[in-house]
Structure 1
């Protein structure tokens, strides 16, 4: 599995001859010109994860692409005339040789009900777990790689580290840190790298533009 971090939570994943893009939001634009995308996974409706204009550009460049998401995002896609495939709850499906499994993951709390929307995590190809904006839900799976949110108005670094320790993936890489100033990115990487490494979990630092083979 090869993962390129486009930015924030927008990832380009290539696995078993399937190319998957996650969460094309407003914090990145490179996704708008990528071709040969088979699937787009959208975890929730917040603009940093789902930008309708970006989705339209992706479809323009990839006419046969399939958009996979939950009911909440689906309503917004329907309003824009964009077809989608529903995958939420504990549903499973396959595309080619790639399996996808959905998990309802409560969105991290900003304050009480502010910003609370349906958030769906996805287990991709029995290898990568991407929880969206959640650091609470343990899917209780044998996870090789996890995309770990490390910053945000709902995410303290200490809680993110505890989440990784609870889920126990073999490797993690950071997402959801585009709102940090560049000089603070290292802090959000170095601390979990040290703590998780002490517990046998490899932390793979990735910034926008980085690509890694997992």
Structure 2
């Protein structure tokens, strides 16, 4: 399996002829990420994870491209897209595995991390791919079917309005993957990034996890 980051929380996974793209949002290189994609998986409705203005044209022009998303995202697509696109919208459910493009997917979670009690909470899915890679969306949901130290790659929300550094570290420690790769990092500048990374990397290593910086456009071979 190959993994490439295309900015913020947008991740592309490739295996054999299958290509999955997660969270092509406003802070991502959507066009590059979706080139040749087999399926799109959306964690939640926020624009930095689902840029409808750029994603929907890809769905319109690629008749075999499917999209998997929570109900609110699916509803918005049904309202604005053509019938032929609506037919390719799938709503997965927590606890019900499914297969797409040769990948086995498990869905976890249910809701976005709390930003503030006065703000409504939206649905959020975390996706576990082939038991090896976990994309949590905007949450620190721990995939309970994965034993500690068994996950190959944990995609870690690095900085957000709903988190603090101690929670980022605790998320990594709770899962203890072989590798932790940062996502959700478009909002932080280089100075802030260095401070946070130092703490995450140092403490993660004590629990057997290698925290690695993943540059946009660089492909990792996870085999």
Aligned match for 1:134, one of 131, 139, 147: 139
Equivalent pair of 1:140/1:167 in contact (CA under 8 Å): no
Equivalent pair of 2:10/2:49 in contact (CA under 8 Å): yes
**Residue in structure 1 matched with residue 76 of structure 2 by the alignment:** 76
**Quick one: distance in 1 between partners of 2:167 and 2:210?**
17
Equivalent pair of 2:22/2:41 in contact (CA under 8 Å): yes
Equivalent pair of 2:26/2:48 in contact (CA under 8 Å): yes
Aligned match for 1:198, one of 199, 206, 214: 206
- 1:159 to 2:159 alignment: no
Distance 1:54 1:188, change over 3 A: farther
Equivalent pair of 2:176/2:209 in contact (CA under 8 Å): yes
- 5+ residue gaps in structure 1? none
Give 1:191 shift. Answer: 2.0
Distance 1:46 1:174, change over 3 A: same
Equivalent pair of 2:154/2:179 in contact (CA under 8 Å): yes
Equivalent pair of 1:36/1:62 in contact (CA under 8 Å): no
Counterpart mapping for 1:101-180 below 5 A: 101-141=106-146, 142-180=150-188
Equivalent pair of 1:147/1:173 in contact (CA under 8 Å): yes
Give 1:17 shift. Answer: 2.8
Equivalent pair of 1:4/1:211 in contact (CA under 8 Å): yes
Deviations 1:83-102 (A, max 9, x none): 21111221111124310111
SS of 1:7's equivalent in the other structure is: coil
**Quick one: distance in 2 between partners of 1:190 and 1:179?**
18
**Residue in structure 1 matched with residue 97 of structure 2 by the alignment:** 92
**Quick one: distance in 1 between partners of 2:16 and 2:130?**
8
**Quick one: distance in 1 between partners of 2:212 and 2:18?**
23
Equivalent pair of 1:98/1:124 in contact (CA under 8 Å): yes
Deviations 1:114-162 (A, max 9, x none): 1510001111122111110001444241422111101010011110110
Equivalent pair of 1:71/1:86 in contact (CA under 8 Å): yes
Give 1:107 shift. Answer: 1.4
**Residue in structure 1 matched with residue 18 of structure 2 by the alignment:** 18
**Residue-pair matches, total:** 213
- After superposing on structure 2, the runs of 4+ consecutive aligned residues of structure 1 that deviate more than 4 Å are none
